[in-house]
Structure 1
């Protein structure tokens, strides 16, 4: 009987220890989720959550689940930085997602200080690209896309155009196009505006056939929806990849001629990973609609999982003597202490592992990777042309 009880006790102890070891890997996301721009960020968030739910259902990362912690920073740089600090100190996150034009720089500086991966950003902010410690980018930078767009316009013989934007990116694009001898006239509007009549009037007054539209997908949808059919029929609109064409063209009755920069394959919806994204999104919430921005979030989750698979080495308990080998954080839990703070070693390994991956098999028919001394994936840009209707 004593021997049986001892076996039961050991079995129970091993089960308890194993359950303690089965910790979660936390990823943080801070972004603004209100207003027009917030809709794009929400779509991105749901894409990340869809992938994490998918991989957790299949056993997680070597037996451990990934959990996404989300905080709204209201597009405030100070609040975004505080959110990152909260992720680090309370959850010991391995990486942080998010960052729009207003908050990306603050998040990058905080990530460097805390030595945590900032996998960003949602905006392609130019200050995040190059040799920037602790920062890896998935999407191309705005500067890279703008230069590509200017070259395309020059090749097509376009010498003048209008660029419409709610922020300083209009001037930046105009400067880059000037280097390619394409003259751009800027039109600015408020990111929170609901009435685009003055913006439309400015576009009409300039009279340029080609118009570059920058802003949130919902905001640009409102702009095109308020424009008269004659305006829509006269102009050719150019969009950066940040803009979700499926949202922009929603409920626009008049056919619109749109050229959009894309870093994803033209047959995206036929790829294996996009179809997986559609299924996973439906499993997350049957009312969610697949979008380009959502798919970007799904890819971000997939890339993080690839990195974690490479660096995580699970602790395995085979006999009671392994109790003495338990990591400090598990020992603390067993003695009533809760681990706080960061796992510097795993954070560092994750950054290093991803930054040297020269190609990712993302299931989209193309294998982007991080090249030496570059912190952004080497996508092939292209122009998707035609009317979305």
Structure 2
């Protein structure tokens, strides 16, 4: 059945605002279907209802829309094959614009009014800070959120929180390893530029822990610039790192693509050209586009392998997701969708939120087409711990096999500087 007329194409749903109606539409599907509030008595037993609260508008919308494309594409492919246990998958989405004040009512609406089995693919750490307590309170799984924050990775894990991606601590630890071991930088030559909220804190704390692990006791006192979420007000943060009393040769960045791109452009235009490193949440494709000619040598850690790779998962992803929407974010959405479906199959024909979690924790091997088998249990609620460093070269993302190459790629800015 063609995607544009599929009966389970992306739904448009009403927001919690009392003065506006916000339609969350599937960005490459042509049709819109209004999602009605339902009760258990009227719920369609031929459908698995899955919820998602993410940024479909605002500065972080590329992340929400990318995750939605990947998840929805995979769900549609499963629906064309008859669904799971004879029931189709229906993804109900509500925009939170990356603002926690919108996420909380969205979560309650999805759970209390739409009776979702699970919430999947939510985007962001500040939004997760309010979503996780609601998921735990309502005993509804929160699956595969697009964040690496520690608040979703407690020890022991929260029963109703299942992660796909590696943590920010793992991403920033890989950055520190590359800077210190492969580029031979001194720890005191590293600085930070982070979003001034729980997301920025999570990445910064991960890097600090990694530095302390290698014996650098003063990591908390390294230069640290910040900016406010959903703004591009980066000047104060940049001035902190350009302080002539500091010697910053690498900047670990934990932010969104627009402010990070503006920071890098301004820095290079003013002759400040350290190694810039971004965590995956930045949104690689959006950062590459936003940086344009200023991007060469910028490093981005990834939590999924390249979607252009040779794995079975990458090949299937390229087959079901339109080319213009294929990137690291939508590939993560696809893998999250697949991990959820495989877990749902394990839970059986009459799966509930509880039996879904039981199935995830069963230590049963789950094959996502990546050449490895994933096993989760009561003590392990994260599918992947792998990191793939990439860098920008000639406007393209490439796997970073030699960290010195990123230094070479960035050298031209030292020569050309403000002549760009």
Q: TM-score, normalised by structure 2?
A: 0.71
Indicate which of 350, 354, 362 corresponds to 1:356: 362
Q: Which residue in the other structure is 1:48 paired with?
A: 71
Q: Which residue in the other structure is 2:376 paired with?
A: 370
Q: Which residue in the other structure is 1:312 paired with?
A: 348
Is the aligned partner of 1:154 residue 2:192?
A: no
Matches within 5 A, 1:161-172: 161-167=190-196, 168-169=200-201, 171-172=204-205
Q: Which residue in the other structure is 1:381 paired with?
A: 387
Given that 2:69 and 2:325 are in contact with CA atoms closer than 8 Å, whether structure 1 keeps it comes out as no
Partner Cα separation in structure 2 for residue 311 and residue 90 of structure 1: 23
Q: Which residue in the other structure is 1:187 paired with?
A: 225
Is the aligned partner of 1:269 residue 2:309?
A: yes
Query: What residue ranges of structure 2 are gaps of 5+ in the alignment?
Result: 1-42, 396-420
Is the aligned partner of 1:175 residue 2:215?
A: no
Indicate which of 61, 80, 84 corresponds to 1:38: 61
Indicate which of 309, 320, 329 corresponds to 1:280: 320
Indicate which of 277, 281, 303 corresponds to 1:238: 277
* CA apart distance, 1:165: 0.8
Partner Cα separation in structure 1 for residue 230 and residue 115 of structure 2: 35
* CA apart distance, 1:57: 1.5
Q: Which residue in the other structure is 1:139 paired with?
A: 165
Structure 1 pair 223–54 and aligned structure 2 pair: CA distance change class (3 A):
farther
Q: Which residue in the other structure is 1:70 paired with?
A: 93
Indicate which of 221, 229, 232 corresponds to 2:261: 221
Q: TM-score, normalised by structure 1?
A: 0.77
Structure 1 pair 307–242 and aligned structure 2 pair: CA distance change class (3 A):
same
Structure 1 pair 298–245 and aligned structure 2 pair: CA distance change class (3 A):
same
The structure that is helix-richer by fraction is: 1
Structure 1 pair 358–252 and aligned structure 2 pair: CA distance change class (3 A):
farther
* CA apart distance, 1:25: 0.3
Q: Which residue in the other structure is 1:297 paired with?
A: 333
SS in 1 for 2:84: coil
Question: Any idea what the Cα deviations from partners look like across 1:38-93, whole Å, max 9, x if unmatched?
Answer: 22122111211111111111211132110000012243435323222222222221
Partner Cα separation in structure 2 for residue 199 and residue 21 of structure 1: 51
Is the aligned partner of 1:28 residue 2:67?
A: no
Question: Any idea what the Cα deviations from partners look like across 1:102-149, whole Å, max 9, x if unmatched?
Answer: 121321111112111111422222111132121111112222333343
Structure 1 pair 225–134 and aligned structure 2 pair: CA distance change class (3 A):
same
Structure 1 pair 256–207 and aligned structure 2 pair: CA distance change class (3 A):
farther
* CA apart distance, 1:223: 3.2
Is the aligned partner of 1:257 residue 2:297?
A: yes
Structure 1 pair 249–33 and aligned structure 2 pair: CA distance change class (3 A):
same
Given that 1:268 and 1:364 are in contact with CA atoms closer than 8 Å, whether structure 2 keeps it comes out as no
Given that 1:174 and 1:186 are in contact with CA atoms closer than 8 Å, whether structure 2 keeps it comes out as no
Structure 1 pair 88–349 and aligned structure 2 pair: CA distance change class (3 A):
same
Structure 1 pair 176–24 and aligned structure 2 pair: CA distance change class (3 A):
same
Partner Cα separation in structure 2 for residue 383 and residue 196 of structure 1: 25
Higher relative contact order, chain-length normalized (CA < 8 Å, sep 6+): 1
Partner Cα separation in structure 2 for residue 166 and residue 357 of structure 1: 37
Q: How many residues align?
A: 335
